[in-house]
Each structure stands twice: as structure tokens, then as C-alpha cells.
Amino acid sequence: MSFKVLVVPEDPTNNGYILKPLVEVILSDAGKSRTKVQVLTSPRLNGYDDAVKAINGELFDRYGHWDLWIFIPDADRASKAAMTAMEEKLAAKGVKLLCCAAQPEVEIFACVAYRSELGAHWSEVRSSGKMKELFFDPLLSAKGDSRRAGGGRDQLISASITPLSTLYTFCPELSELRKRVIQLFP
């Protein structure tokens, strides 16, 4: 039987190319190899506020019966308290939601394989308020393929998920997400 997972991004246009393969490999590593992962594209979300509004409202009718929802926002607005409150609110409605704030932004996950090429220490990259502009965009220009959908984001994340242990080491929020999936679905 298939395990159905809805991934809710702040921006499906670009983040979906990173999040779908990332969540698939994490779920497989957590013992959920027969998983159908769908990145939410309708309704089209435009930022954190839209995503939170959709999670707390309109998504329930269409996706409330799915096995798991995963919300992976940028960390700038996603406080731990807000994420816990959202998970608890959805749990009361019977929806299993796991929130995993990307520190500092979702694009950080696609940078792991290229740490030595970013021109700064990893801790500086992870704490930068302009990580996307200063580090990710130049990396995407250099290593991606502008002719591909997503500009090559799929290529960057593909390189960054192998080996998965490295990704977990440099983005510990993903290791925590894996642990939480295992706890929720032993």
C-alpha cells in the first residue's frame, strides 16, 4: 500500500525542484520506500503567510486523508513555537503534519555538496540573511543548467543527497525530520 505525503512549500515554483527529491530520499531512509510524494502546486502559494493560511484552511478538504503533510518553510518566519502550534492544531483535526524549518532557506539543502565552493565557512552560509543571493544564486549559475526546469535545482539537490549522512550532518533539521517520521510511523 502506498504512503501518500503532501509537501507544502512557501514557493512551489522553485522550491519544488529541491523538496520533492529531498523528501523522497528522507522518507525512504526512514523506512517509507513506497511513498508517493506530491509537492503542493494548487493552490499556488506565494510565501509563508499563504502557506500557513492554506495549511490551516483549504487543504484539509482535498488532502486531509493523506498519510502525512510536511511543511518546509524558510526559517526566517518559522519559529519553533509557531510550527509546534500548527502541528498540534492539525493533529486535533486528524492530520499528521511535520514542520521542518530550513535554516536559513530551502536552497541551503542544495548547497551541501558544494560547501567548499561557496567562498565562506558553512556556518556563515547557514546564518546569512542573504544566503540565496550571496551563495545559492551564484552556485546555481555556475553548476545548474538554465535550460532545465528549475534552472538546475534538481541537479544541485541530486548531488547534495549523496551521501545522505553528509546532508544530515550539515543540515541537522533534516536528520530531525527523519527521526520524527520514524517516531510517527514506527
Parse the chain into domains and list their residue ranges: 3-104+166-184, 106-160
User: End-to-end CA distance of the chain, in Å?
Assistant: 16
H-helix segments, 75-171 = 80-92, 122-127, 131, 137-143, 153-160, 164-170
Torsion sign over Cα 12, 118, 29, 75: negative
Confidence band for 107, pLDDT divided at 50, 70 and 90? very high
Residues 5-23 have a mean pLDDT of: 94
Q: Which three cell numbers stand for residue 57?
A: 484552511
- DSSP character for 80? H
pLDDT digits (tens, 9 = 90+) for 119-177: 999 999 999 999 999 999 999 999 999 888 899 999 999 999 999 999 999 999 999 99
Report the distance separating Cα 43 and Cα 54, nearest Å.
Answer: 8
Q: Where are the beta strands (DSSP E) in the chain?
A: 3-8, 35-39, 68-71, 97-99
Supply the pLDDT for residue 13.
85
Do 105 and 129 touch, CB atoms closer than 8 A?
Answer: no
CATH 1.10.10.10 is the classification of domain 3-104+166-184: no
Report the distance separating Cα 22 and Cα 157, nearest Å.
Answer: 7
Give me the percent of the chain exceeding a pLDDT of 70. 99
| Mean residue pLDDT across the chain | 95
This prediction's pTM: 0.95
Residues 17-22 have a mean pLDDT of: 97
Peptide bond into 163 cis (omega under 30): yes
Is 20's pLDDT higher than 90? yes
**Could you tell me the CA-to-CA distances from 2 to 32, 37, 85 in Å, in that order?**
9, 10, 28
Is 78's pLDDT higher than 80? yes
Is 1's pLDDT higher than 70? no
Supply the pLDDT for residue 56.
95
Supply the pLDDT for residue 149.
82
Q: Which residue in this structure is represented by grid cell 514542520?
A: 99
